[in-house]
Chains A and B, each alone.
Chain A
């Protein structure tokens, strides 16, 4: 009973979705003077291609480089700070690149965006640096508590990939 009701509900949702999507595509294809379908299609497909063939591989490559150069407890912080920096920069891209606006209207994009982006990203990386210090102090304390005679010593944080899962 319940499973059937769930199935019907999902069917209804899918049908509504298809109808809405069809309505949108129909609108795109009928109001051609405003929507310019070949242009709109280029931007729609272009968005997917730029993500799948550029944005993702570049991110993966940056991740690969990080595994080489940044050690364990700090790498996550650097990755997080890079994620924040990249998306903040992307969301304001036309502004700090100086795209858009019009010369006769100084109230559009009126701020020194390059400087402002530097301030914001500076704050992000200051936060990241503070986190790195906290993690470094914690790691140093952990080494002191376990003592130099401890059998795991400094191996504790150095790469547990492929080793047995931790009991916790």
Chain B
């Protein structure tokens, strides 16, 4: 719309980075930006969708009954979420390098539409950097920010991916004119076309692609072992090793942090099952209850997962003994007196799954205090924060 064009500004403020040719690198190129943008778009898409899976697993809407199978589903989606986010670090920085001169383009705004387009870049870049920085900090449990991570990360994701869709809509013509075998025939779509690569001594465009791919590969190779079975030995730069911890299993929240050391060790501990025929079990009675073994992973929202062998009564046997009907949802309550994760709801698919236990044993020994002694919930395909520890009550809802 030519009528919307703003008048051309005077040239005298055009100094420093605003100068023509201020950025001589041949990597500042629309084709390179478009190719990196496609990869970045795919990565952010994967992060967003797997993030939504995690969000809705923890906060299921009333219409959604999350399945308890396949057992490995949450391990895969959440592992992928964190791995993709980590691998995005070199992609995002390389992409920002290729387009940085656009920050200083002249004139700064050409039209109302152009101003609006530039404005939508702000939430896109701010959100992208924010998501990677806070995500990495959270997996290391490094809390320098004074907001609650999961909630803020969730809303900023909507903002970022929304801004990304706007960006894709605006840049589709540039991408089509610069990418794909028929791109020469689509060159008329935009005036931002890739110039033939000038000769130079530094990194070439292809070289940048190789370096970014290598960086993403190195990051993935040295961190994926925290959730991929069999890769633990390559796990050099991840915040968790799936085999390090009491009884060979990492801990997210210790008994000391949850302030349950005394109550959990109390010899007068009772497990209370509340339903149509409520009953309580002492420690000895709980141990005498019909035990089963389940091989299930702990799959943490922070992206690590570790296999373990659990032993204890099946949750569904306890529910049957209390006369709780198969279609009922139950709440499993911890000895913790406070905190957002002191109780969790178990819907019928998980409550009735034969693999779901109220585990009292782990890897051939009595459950460690930090793993939830005297009893903890362990169910398939469920985030670790909902595998409630130090359980003392199961209530029919």
Contact = CB atoms under 8 A, between A and B. Distances in A.
Interface string A35-55: 110011001110110111001
B239 A39 contact: no
A80 B214 contact: yes
Interface in B181-233: 196, 198-204, 207-208, 210-212, 214-215, 218-219, 222-223
B254 A105 contact: yes
Interface stretch (B67-75, B87-95, B323-331): B87-95
Interface string A13-31: 1101111111111011001
Given A31-B151, A88-B237, A76 B218 contact: no
**Chain B at the A interface: mostly helix, strand, loop or mixed?**
helix
B99 to A, nearest CB: 11
Contact of A161 (B136, B201, B240): B201
A36 B97 CA distance: 31
B158 A83 contact: no
**Chain A at the B interface: mostly helix, strand, loop or mixed?**
helix
Contact of B129 (A6, A48, A111): A48
Interface of B: 25, 86, 89-90, 93-94, 96-97, 100, 103, 120, 122-123, 125-127, 129-130, 133-134, 136-137, 140-148, 151-152, 154-170, 172, 196, 198-204, 207-208, 210-212, 214-215, 218-219, 222-223, 235-237, 239-241, 244-246, 250-254, 256-257, 370
Interface of A: 6, 10-11, 13-14, 16-25, 27-28, 31, 33-36, 39-40, 43-45, 47-48, 50-52, 55-56, 59, 63, 66-67, 71-72, 75-76, 79-81, 83-84, 87-88, 90-96, 99-102, 104-105, 107-111, 113, 116-117, 119-120, 124, 159-161, 163, 165-166
Given A91-B89, A101-B142, 6 more contacts: A14-B169, A56-B96, A84-B215, A90-B89, A91-B219, A100-B239
